[in-house]
Structure 1
Amino acid sequence: MNDSFFRKIESKTGVPMEEVFALANAIQYADFSDERQVRKIIRKVGKLAKKDVPQQMEDELVRSIVSDGKSVNIQDIQNMLGRQ
C-alpha cells in the first residue's frame, strides 16, 4: 500500500501506523492461553482506542479470551470495549 493511504488513516485516527502494526503483530503471534499476554494486548487496544479499561472489564475480557483459547482480533476486543 502507498504512504498516502497510511497518512490518511493516521490523520483520521490519530494513531501512528507503527503502533497499529506492532499491535497487529503482537496479536498474530500471541498465545491466547497466556493471561499475561492477553492482558497486555487488552491494555494496548484500550490505549490505542483511547478508552479506559476498568479492572473488572479487563478481568472479564481476560477470562473470556483465555477460556476460549482461540485467537482474537482487534475488532473483537474493540467490540467488547464498546459494551462499557
Structure 2
Amino acid sequence: MQNPFFKQIESKTGVDMEEIFALANAIQHADFSNEKQVRKIIKKVSKLANKPVSKELEDRIVKSIMQEGKSLDLSKIQKMLG
C-alpha cells in the first residue's frame, strides 16, 4: 500500500492493510450459516487483533453468530473479546 493514510494506519496498528482488506472481503462473501466459515473468520480476526481466542470463547462466538442468522455483529464479538 502506497497510500499515506493506509501507511499511517499500518504504523499505528501494526496490521498490514492487505490483510485487513482480505478479511473484509472474506466477511463480505461469507456464509454465516456455515460453521466452518464462521470459525475460519473468527480465527482470522483473532490473529489480526493479536487476541487469542480459547476454544470455549470461539464456541460461544460461533453459536452467537449462527443464532443471529446471516449477519455478523462485530460489536458483539468485540465485547466478547474485550
**Take 2:24 and 2:74, find their aligned partners in 1: how far apart are those partners?**
8
Q: Quote the RMSD (CA, aligned, Å).
A: 1.5
User: Aligned pairs, how many?
Assistant: 81
Amino acid at match of 2:38: V
Q: What residue number does 2:60 align with? A: 60
Q: What residue number does 1:21 align with? A: 21
- 2:65, 2:73 within 8 Å by CA — same for their partners in 1? no
Overall identity of the aligned pairs, in %: 63
The alpha carbon displacement at 1:81 in A equals 1.1
- 1:39, 1:62 within 8 Å by CA — same for their partners in 2? yes
**Take 1:7 and 1:52, find their aligned partners in 2: how far apart are those partners?**
25
TM-score, length-scaled by structure 2 = 0.90
The alpha carbon displacement at 1:61 in A equals 0.3
1:26 to 1:75, Cα distance in 2 relative to 1, 3 A: farther
TM-score, length-scaled by structure 1 = 0.88
Question: Is the aligned partner of 1:81 residue 2:78?
Answer: no
Q: What residue number does 2:41 align with? A: 41
